[in-house]
Structure 1
Amino acid sequence: MATQAEVLDIDGREVRISSPDKPYFADLGLNKRGVVEYFRSVGPGIVAALRDRPTAMERWPGGVREDVVVATRADGRGEAFYQKRAPANTPEWVQTAEVRFPSGRTAVEVAPHDLASVLWMVNLGTVRFHPWPVRAADTDAVDQLRIDLDPQPGVDFATTVRAALELRRVLADAGLAGFCKTSGGRGVHVFAPIEGSDFIDARHAAIAVGRELARRLPSAVTVNWWKEERGERVFVDFNQMARDRLMTSAYSIRPTPRGLVSAPLDWDELPSVQPSDFTVVTMPARFAERGDVWAVLDATPPGSLTTALEWYARDSAKGEGELPYPPEYPKMPGEPPRVQPSKKNAANWE
């Protein structure tokens, strides 16, 4: 028999939690109530990561199980799914914002302002949050440069850490302050607060920073978009800065049986940790002891993309210009053909 719903008082808001005893991470003995309590335990951190940002919800309403099929653009029949648009029953007190997709279409997304709104999203089955790098007040003004260091097969975490530490120096040379976190998987994410920028400039800055990092660590880092060219290196996924290509928020839970979380870190601790150190079970104690390690991010003055864009212009003048956009994008100005190098010929390239 289904457990009766519970109602939480979150800063004067009533948040209803349905089926609180539903198993969510069975291997960890964690039910839906436990997931809610996890996000309450890291409340200031998850709110800071999402505050006023249009956010796509990764919903697992039946709990996280290995047999769950995730719905895709091509096949929407999965039990778990990504939800971009705010549901029809969104409470009036939950903030929303309109965003524009690469196609030109628009949508209204949840842009949570407080913990009650976040927990309302959790009640819908959201375990992983994907916030835009913009705020509700201006959804075309990018305020964070986000660099995704994605280790390719065969690359160990130590190599990714080495790339992240060098990336910090590259960003500093560009006048930007970087902050690191685990991705919730094998990678590392580095964010830098920036002055309001459009998406194309932000993506070009990410390309330029990635190229500079690859020059400094050519055997360990690549910006090559095509998998066949990456090798056993860390890929700087510059297209994560493209419009509507979103990265996991700090404190989100990776929907796998181990329940790893995306953990904000101090730079000096990055070399001595492993992604598996941070889970939905262990993070509450860390947060109780350390608080939000990334609280300083929002307090850091935003940097300018001027230097990074000068690097991009310099590289373009030498023949290293635009790179392929994600496949769902319309053809973009200056973009090379979206053809992997092994299939390059006059018919499909020139």
Structure 2
Amino acid sequence: MATDAVLLPIDGPHGQRDIRISSPNRVLWPEPGITKLDLARYIVEVGEAFVTANGDRPLSLQRFPAGIDGEQFFSKNPPKGAPDFVRSVMVVYPSARTHPQLVIDEPAAAVWAVQMNTVVFHPWPSRAENSDNPDQLRIDLDPQPGTDFDDAIPAALELRKVLDEVGLTTFIKTSGNRGLHVFAPIEPTREFLDVRHAVIAAARELERRMPDKVTTAWWKEERGERVFVDFNQANRDRTMAGAYSPRALGHAPVSTPIEWDELESTDPRQFTILTVPDRLKSTGDPWARMHENPGTIDQLLGWWERDLAAGLGELPFPPDYPKMPGEPSRVQPSRARKDA
């Protein structure tokens, strides 16, 4: 029986692999008309940088069987039928359950994930063989209603200064939407709760310096027209779109690493599946050497302890987390006042 499937040859560290792409003409992004085969070819074109950024990490897949306007789901279990060169690793979730997650070691594995209808790739901030101890400190700058990407730029620049003061080298990428993601490589010697506390310490310091522009308020009703520093992205089993990952938005944007000196002139809408491969060829990968000089979060944890002594305690955890030590009430402030 005839099929429209195609075999896509992909070079890798172990030679060429041929990955079968079924329904290659299925349109995933209707607005620019980008197909499943187009997405697979995009991953091939950015493959080395993609694996450098997202490889050797537990990975969740955001899958869209009928395109970005259709049903979607997150896949944490490796999809059935994985080729023998695609591995998985056991990780521990907040519930204390263990679970296998996919690990990508070469571009062909990422293309196979596209064959399984993956659009967005969500890597952990830790390595596969040491998944309990992140080697990246990640901070998500999320513009709230009434603010936009341009409001996140000065927050990112000031955050860079904050992290530089504690000896951390920072890297930045567009989120693929309206925000910015700031990363700092760290030695993988501290577990997730410590890294979360380090992020909160940095976020509070940023908030002190830019109180009218930045907020750490977890409840949306308290954020106002400011950029939210999403500290909960530092938790175990919390991920953001990986570097060079597409996003499921109409114009097919990509979460794109940039140089710091590009930031103030950057238009994130220009970074798409159609444009990023040529950008990568012409400018190179700004994140290629990220992990050459990791820092520590020791000084940030000192700030955390200082803030605790000053009465600034733990902040809320995501609603699906078990109740955590020292955590404040999870009741929305306006509802708590009404109930009182």
Q: C-alpha distance in 2, partners of 1:156/1:294?
A: 25
Partner of 2:25: 21
SS of residue matched to 1:208: helix
Q: C-alpha distance in 2, partners of 1:107/1:85?
A: 7
Partner of 1:282: 275
Letter in 1 for 2:121: F
Q: CA RMSD in A?
A: 1.5
CA contact (8 A) 2:7 2:18 kept: no
1:125-204 aligned within 5 A: 125-196=117-188, 197-204=190-197
User: Equivalent of 1:225, from 218, 228, 249?
Assistant: 218
SS of residue matched to 2:128: coil
SS of residue matched to 2:140: strand
CA contact (8 A) 2:28 2:35 kept: yes
SS of residue matched to 1:195: coil
How far does residue 318 in structure 1 lie from its aligned partner after superposition? 0.7
How far does residue 195 in structure 1 lie from its aligned partner after superposition? 1.0
How far does residue 2 in structure 1 lie from its aligned partner after superposition? 5.3
How far does residue 347 in structure 1 lie from its aligned partner after superposition? 7.4
Q: C-alpha distance in 2, partners of 1:61/1:226?
A: 33
Does 1:33 find its partner at 2:15? Answer: no
1:201-350 aligned within 5 A: 201-299=194-292, 301-344=293-336
Partner of 1:84: 76
- Pick closer, same or farther for the CA change 1:285–1:274 going to 2, 3 Å: same
Would you identify which runs of 4 or more consecutive aligned residues in structure 1 move more than 4 Å? 345-348
SS of residue matched to 1:161: helix
SS of residue matched to 1:163: helix
How far does residue 275 in structure 1 lie from its aligned partner after superposition? 1.3
For residues 230-272 of structure 1, the C-alpha deviation after alignment (integer angstroms, 9 at most, x for no partner) is 0000000000001111111011111122001101010011000
Segments of structure 1 that go 5 or more residues without pairing to the other structure are 69-78
CA contact (8 A) 2:155 2:213 kept: yes
SS of residue matched to 1:228: helix
SS of residue matched to 2:119: strand
TM-score by length of 1: 0.92
Stretch moving more, 115-124 or 229-238:
115-124
Stretch moving more, 23-32 or 108-117:
23-32
Letter in 1 for 2:201: A
Q: C-alpha distance in 1, partners of 2:30/2:227?
A: 33
SS of residue matched to 2:31: helix
CA contact (8 A) 1:60 1:126 kept: yes
CA contact (8 A) 1:142 1:198 kept: yes
Q: C-alpha distance in 2, partners of 1:345/1:219?
A: 25
Letter in 2 for 1:318: A
SS of residue matched to 2:38: helix
CA contact (8 A) 2:172 2:181 kept: yes
Q: C-alpha distance in 2, partners of 1:15/1:4?
A: 10
Identical pairs, percent: 49
How far does residue 174 in structure 1 lie from its aligned partner after superposition? 1.4
How far does residue 342 in structure 1 lie from its aligned partner after superposition? 1.3
How far does residue 29 in structure 1 lie from its aligned partner after superposition? 2.5
How far does residue 346 in structure 1 lie from its aligned partner after superposition? 11
How far does residue 279 in structure 1 lie from its aligned partner after superposition? 0.8
CA contact (8 A) 2:10 2:107 kept: no
Q: C-alpha distance in 2, partners of 1:293/1:129?
A: 19
Q: C-alpha distance in 2, partners of 1:44/1:154?
A: 38
- Pick closer, same or farther for the CA change 1:312–1:35 going to 2, 3 Å: same
For residues 38-77 of structure 1, the C-alpha deviation after alignment (integer angstroms, 9 at most, x for no partner) is 1111111111111110000011122223xx2xxxxxxxxx
How far does residue 223 in structure 1 lie from its aligned partner after superposition? 0.4
CA contact (8 A) 2:5 2:20 kept: no
For residues 175-203 of structure 1, the C-alpha deviation after alignment (integer angstroms, 9 at most, x for no partner) is 11110100000000000001112000000
Q: C-alpha distance in 2, partners of 1:22/1:10?
A: 24
How far does residue 221 in structure 1 lie from its aligned partner after superposition? 0.3
Q: How many residues are paired up?
A: 335
Does 1:96 find its partner at 2:88? Answer: yes
Letter in 2 for 1:156: D
Letter in 1 for 2:23: S
Q: C-alpha distance in 2, partners of 1:252/1:40?
A: 12
How far does residue 298 in structure 1 lie from its aligned partner after superposition? 2.5
CA contact (8 A) 1:44 1:292 kept: no
CA contact (8 A) 2:215 2:223 kept: yes
